[in-house]
Structure 1
């Protein structure tokens, strides 16, 4: 009688919940070839033809952005703090291109669905800019042939930048601002189609569906995860960090003080650089900048 009641409860729960229960005994030796075969069939669907123009546009926008920022920092002073410790005064030095456009690198894969990179293989794969790896997997033409870092890419623009007039500088700022918007918008579109992962602990980025096993974080005793990445879906800010900075408004004091930090505005470094060079800033940044906000107390 008890057995019949148990079976009846099982079937009632199955009908109302809409789910079925299976045995936990799975023959992985038979299931593994099926999974690998499915992955191989899935690889034939990439790259998506409709996204190839988007990938090419992202590569072009990145090149224009690097060229524009490299020119603007020759005229607009940029400072960066060389210290990273908390509760210490800033020690300012001249900023570089990498202080405006933060480089993010990842492993370069020949095939989007290739085997997972192990820890022992971490030196066998080239490290390339994450955005260019994303564009490569999306079918961009020759995007990795010019995959140098942003600092190296900007060294060739110093001679051109010295000869810019005020009107030309404003034009460069406007084109740089447009390239920044195109760049981030294109990366966002690609992330809707192509898988990308980011580690919750160390911000390591991997372009692909499965992540990798190279232990680049958690190697110290105080890091409880012990080198295993905790992968989650990557967003635009993970591949293109906006580098948010403080900005001085007309109503602020000449030197920003710590006691007024709740009143000061913020802005991505690229946006602030273009604004100071005379470019028109999109309205969506006004709230972050606190354009009409109150000044800090005296």
Structure 2
């Protein structure tokens, strides 16, 4: 038995392995960007601009409300009466919302990340956090996928919807809503395909997103700002919802009352804000959302 005993005392000479590891990292960087994914990234950017344009146009015809004290959004004229307000800091929870006029950023949640000079650059340190521009995560993903976003209209600004024209005829509303919904679906599908090739990380506590093979070291994690690790992020693999938040809202069906109430909240369905906005403008909703929306469900009598 002693002759088959394995010796575990062998040591690894990291000084000899270091050049081999660095060589493999440099060789890996030559495989990117993947040529077959460049048209996918270009289509994602195109769909993103169409989505922003479409949402901004629909907001001139379909009213939305947002809560003054929490992120709740209602695609309706006067909001709803469901007691789901989480309040501001230590204020009372599960109260009625205080509604104000919403805007496009309440529908299309901006998700920003650091803009890297190249995909395999050194990890961003905490003292370098102001040396890198913050850009929309989708645009950064498409940039790393090989799309040139240096020209005008690249979508780096999240305020592009404020510069779009509002002269839309009422007869065109349904077609605009349908194009907007198709752009939403195409963008999410394209982002999903890109994330199969290009790594994206998200903090499991504060939802900070980093597009790259490893996260950054900027200490910006809010929940643990004053803990022992001083705001370091805890990274995990991101999903499509981390880059394109669906922003669920209550869905009002034809059989529901004009204003949704607390008593019937168990009967009401939900839908992503973009889907609900387009549905109220006359777009045909994909079947995969009907279960979530409880389209054929009962209502409280």
TM-score normalised by the shorter chain: which range applies? 0.7 to 0.9
After superposition, give the CA deviation of every residue in 1:238-258 in whole Å (9 maximum; x if it has no partner).
000010111111222222223
Q: In 2 relative to 1, CA 27–227 (structure 1 residues): closer, same or farther, beyond 3 Å?
A: farther
Where in structure 2 are there 5+ consecutive unaligned residues? 71-86, 88-92
User: 1:1-298 alignment to 2 at 5 Å?
Assistant: 4-5=1-2, 8=4, 10=5, 25-84=11-70, 85=87, 86-142=93-149, 146-150=154-158, 152-157=159-164, 160-161=165-166, 163-217=167-221, 218-221=223-226, 226-296=230-300, 298=301
Counterpart secondary structure, 1:52: helix
CA distance in 2, matches of 1:52, 1:184: 16
Q: Which ranges of structure 1 fall in alignment gaps of 5 or more residues? A: 12-20
Q: Between Structure 1 and Structure 2, which shows a larger proportion of helix residues?
A: 1
SS in 2 for 1:267: strand
Q: 1:292 to 1:41 in 2, by over 3 A?
A: same
Give the deviation of 1:26 after TM superposition: 2.9
Deviations 1:258-296 (A, max 9, x none): 332222100000000001111111111100000011113
Number of equivalent positions: 278
Distance in 2 (alpha carbons) for counterparts of 1:224 and 1:174: 50
Superposed structure 1 runs of 4+ greater than 6 Å apart: none
Q: Is the contact between residue 59 and residue 143 of structure 1 (CA under 8 Å) also seen in structure 2?
A: no
Cα-to-partner distance string for 1:1-48 (whole Å, 9 max, x where unaligned): xxx35x54x57xxxxxxxxx8657433333233222211110000000
Contact 1:132 1:147 in 2 (8 A): yes
* Distance 1:33-1:147 versus aligned 2 partners, 3 A rule: farther
Tell me the CA shift for residue 229 of structure 1: 1.4
TM-score, length-normalised on structure 1?
0.87
- Report if aligned partners of 1:133, 1:144 keep a CA contact under 8 Å in 2: no
